[in-house]
Structure 1
Amino acid sequence: MSRPQCARCHRPTSHCLCALIPSLDSRTRVLLLQHPSEVGHALNTARLAALGLNNAQLVVGEVFEDLATLLNLPGYQARLLFPADDAQPLQAYAPEDQPLLLVVPDGTWRKARKLLHLNPLLAALPRVTLDDGGISRYRLRKAPSAGALSTVEAITQALQVLEAPTSFEPLLKPFEALIEGQIAAMGQEIFQRNHGDEHLG
C-alpha cells in the first residue's frame, strides 16, 4: 500500500516540503517543460521550482501541441535555457529590457534533447546559458559534466543573474531539505561510501 502523499508537493505527507516552499515574484516568466519520466522521480526539482515561483508554469509531456500559444506570451521574449555553440550567456536586465520567457526543459540530457527533437518550435528558440562554474548542491548523483545543475538550481542561478540584486536563494530551501532527507534515509555510511568522494561541478 502506498504512503499518503501531499497533493501539492507530491511528497509523502510525513516528509511534506510545503512549509519550506517560498512564494517568490519574478519579472521573468519561467516555463518548465517536463518529460513524463521525471514526474514520479523522488527528486522532482522542476515541481519545486514551479511551486516556489508565482510567475512559473509546469507542463508535462513529450509533444506539446499548444507550444506556439505557450511561447507567444505578450510582453515577453522567449529564450531556451539549454547549451549550444551560439547560446548567449545570461545578463542582468537593463531597465528598458523586455523580460524573458525562460523555457526550461526538464529531464535527463538525453530526454531533454528528445523534447527538442520532437518539438521543432522549441529547438528553434534562441538559446541562453549560464556562466560555467556553478557548483551543484545535488550530492546524490554524479554530474555528467562540470557545471551541471539540477533544474531548480539552474533556474535559481538564471534568475539571480537576470534580476540581480534580487535573491532567489529561498527556492533552494526545499531542495536542500530533500537532499538531506534522502541522505538520512540511506544512512551516512552508505552515502559516504557511494558519494562521499564525488562532487558536482
Structure 2
Amino acid sequence: MARLRCERCLRPQNHCLCALIPGLDSQTRVLILQHPSEVGHALNTARLAAMGLKQAQLVVAEVFEDLPALLNVPGYQTRLLFPGEGAATLTLEDGASLPMLLVVPDGTWRKARKLLHLNPLLAALPRVTLSNAPLSRYRLRKAPGPDALSTLEAIVHALHTLEPQTSFDALFAPFDALIEGQIAAMGEQTFQRNHC
C-alpha cells in the first residue's frame, strides 16, 4: 500500500515539511526550469525553493514552449544562473538598476546542460555565476566539486548577493529537515558508509 503524501510538499504525510516552508518576499524573481527527471526525486530542493519564495515559479519540461513569455517580464533584467564561458560573477550591483529575473536550471549537471541545448533561447541568455559560495549543506548527493550547491542553496546564495539587506536563511529550515529525515530513514551506518 502506498504511503499517504502531502499534496503540497509531496512528502510522506508523517514527514510533511509544510510547517517549515516560509513565504519570503524578494525583489528578485526566480524562474526555476526543472528537468522532468527531478520531479519525483525525494530530494527535490527546487520545489522547496519555489514554495518558500513568493516571487518564484517552477516550470517542468525538457523543451519550454512558452519560454519567450516566461523570460520577458517587464521591468526585470533576465540572467541565467549557470557557470560557463562568458559567465559574469553575480554582484550586488547587478540588481541595482533593474530587479533581476534569475533563471535557474534544475537537474543533474548533465540534464541542466541538456536543457540549455534543447532551448537555444535559454542558452543565449547572459550568464551569471556565484562567487564565495559557502560549503554545501547537501550531504546526500555526490557533488562534482567542493563549490557545487543544490538548487535551493544556489538560489539562497544568489538572493543574499543581490539583496544583502534581507535574510533568506529561512529556506534552509525545510531543506535541513529534508536532509536529516533522509539520513534518519537510511540509518546512520548506511549514511556513514555511502556519504562520508
Q: TM-score, normalised by structure 2?
A: 0.97
Moved more, 70-79 or 138-147: 138-147
- How many residue pairs align between the two structures? 196
Specify the alignment match of 2:154 in structure 1: 154
1:140-179 equivalences in 2 (<5 Å)? 140-179=140-179
Specify the alignment match of 1:126 in structure 2: 126
Q: CA deviation at 1:142?
A: 1.9
- Amino-acid identity (%): 71
Q: Specify the SS of the correspondent of 1:14.
A: helix
Q: CA deviation at 1:104?
A: 0.2
Structure 1 contact 138–149 (Cα < 8 Å) conserved: yes
Measured against aligned partners, the alpha-carbon deviations of 1:114-139 in whole angstroms (never above 9, x if no partner) come to: 00000000000000000144310011
Q: Specify the SS of the correspondent of 1:194.
A: helix
> Which amino acid letter does the alignment assign opposite residue 61 of structure 1?
A
Moved more, 158-167 or 91-100: 91-100
Structure 1 contact 93–99 (Cα < 8 Å) conserved: no
Measured against aligned partners, the alpha-carbon deviations of 1:52-88 in whole angstroms (never above 9, x if no partner) come to: 0000100000000100000000010110000013111
Measured against aligned partners, the alpha-carbon deviations of 1:105-158 in whole angstroms (never above 9, x if no partner) come to: 000000000000000000000000001443100111221112100000000000
1:38-49 equivalences in 2 (<5 Å)? 38-49=38-49
* Aligned counterparts of 2:83 and 2:134: Cα–Cα separation in 1: 14
Moved more, 79-88 or 30-39: 79-88
Q: Specify the SS of the correspondent of 2:157.
A: helix
Q: CA deviation at 1:172?
A: 1.1
1:41-190 equivalences in 2 (<5 Å)? 41-93=41-93, 96-190=96-190
Specify the alignment match of 1:6 in structure 2: 6
Q: TM-score, normalised by structure 1?
A: 0.94
Segments ≥4 residues shifted beyond 2 Å: 93-96
* Structure 2: runs of 5 or more not aligned: none
> Which amino acid letter does the alignment assign opposite residue 148 of structure 1?
A
Going from structure 1 to structure 2, the CA distance change for 1:135 and 1:57 (only over 3 Å counts) comes to same
